[in-house]
Amino acid sequence: MRGLPRPPQRGQAREWLGQGASIGAQHPPAAAAFRPLIELQHLERNPQALLDGRRPPNPVRFQYTLLRGRLRVARAWQRHRPTASATTAVLPAPRPAGADHGPHAPQGLLPPAPHPGGAVPPTLSGRQLPQHVAIIMDGNGRWAEAQGQLRSAGHHAGQHALRDVIYGAPEIGLPCLSVYAFSTENRARPAAEVETVLHVVSNGLDMNTEELWQRDVQLRWSGSSNDGRLPADLVDRIRRAARATRERTGLILNVCLNYGGRHELTHAARALARQAAHGGLDPDRITPRHLARHLYQPDLPDVDLLIRTSGEQRTSNFRPWQSTYAEYLFLDPLWPDIDRTHLWAAISTYATRDRRFGTTK
């Protein structure tokens, strides 16, 4: 091929190369093989697009290159058996369980505050630890009512419980924690309660006053940011906190706020439809990986352990895609009665589970 393709075609080429690059982020060894394959498959369907009107390549040479690409893919997958995860962790290596985190804390950041009762985490090996725990923090309202208090008191108490659990996560060596703070369905609650929950969340995200942000915690946000249902100052606050903490590696805290699993999947489907409509994606070649790339925080690993408190046994539209192969644990205590020792006990139970991802041993 002589000369560069015309600008719109260069844009198309960049998009295809980009697809190869994001596969690389998910499965680096296969990326090198996928990239030429993707480009060649596009060429196969539309050879003129990159050739700027010139003759397509010699068919023998074309088939030979295609075959070589396919062989490289097969070899790459043989060497690196895929897990059930549609996305791959890019998380820091967990710190040794039970280690003193003082010296590990990056400069200027404090280690997690110790458990008030002096509890220390059990020692589990890296292989026994989940990469990603997701929690449905349920029972704030019932906790408050049982104490003869307003439901708002339950949400405030829930925020204290969450802080303790967050401190316990890096102590045991957990790299990623997702919490369900406010769902798209929670918006149907009475306005005063919605306001309270969002107020509690907003206080929790205040980097000037919330002690959590003096620790090595990186904030992520999963949820709808453009439906106008969150106050602008809260959106601003969460974005600022995410920016300010993005270099931190002690724990990734993924706050699911204004989040709904069906919304998330719909949002991803829309993005794929848009790509297909512009000719950048063949609908017949859409795979789970294409879709996973458009979910919120796609670089986080799938959920290994999903915990719900308050004795309820349902998942309520929480991370349906990412939890497909999660282990589930339903705990009886109401969320405000939870602390880091419950997280450690849940992780110890997880360590005894036999995960097979639909295969046999």
Name the residues that contact ligand FPP, by CB under 6 A: 137-142, 155, 158-159, 162, 179, 181-182, 186, 197, 200-201, 204-205, 255, 310
138 a catalytic residue: yes
Tell me 128's DSSP state.
G
User: For residues 37 and 285, is the Cβ–Cβ distance under 8 A?
Assistant: no
Residue appearing with tokens 């957990």: 174
Catalytic residue among 140, 186, 254, 258: 186
Question: Nearest approach, Cβ of 161 to ligand FPP (angstroms)?
Answer: 7
User: For residues 306 and 326, is the Cβ–Cβ distance under 8 A?
Assistant: yes
43 vs 338, beta carbon nearer ligand FPP: 338
236 a catalytic residue: no
Catalytic residue among 52, 58, 100, 138: 138
Question: Nearest approach, Cβ of 31 to ligand FPP (angstroms)?
Answer: 35
88 vs 140, beta carbon nearer ligand FPP: 140
User: For residues 303 and 252, is the Cβ–Cβ distance under 8 A?
Assistant: no
15 vs 312, beta carbon nearer ligand FPP: 312
Question: Nearest approach, Cβ of 336 to ligand FPP (angstroms)?
Answer: 8
CA distances from 166 to 178, 214, 270, 340 (A): 10, 13, 34, 7
3-state class (DSSP) for residue 105: coil
Q: How far apart are alpha carbons 9 and 2 in whole angstroms?
A: 14
37 vs 181, beta carbon nearer ligand FPP: 181
DSSP 295-339: SSSTTSPPPSEEEE-TT----TTSSTTTTTT-EEEE--S-GGG--
182 vs 350, beta carbon nearer ligand FPP: 182
Question: Nearest approach, Cβ of 135 to ligand FPP (angstroms)?
Answer: 10
Question: Nearest approach, Cβ of 358 to ligand FPP (angstroms)?
Answer: 32
Rounded to the nearest 10°, the torsion over CA 106, 94, 86, 312 is -100
User: What residues are labeled active site?
Assistant: 138, 186
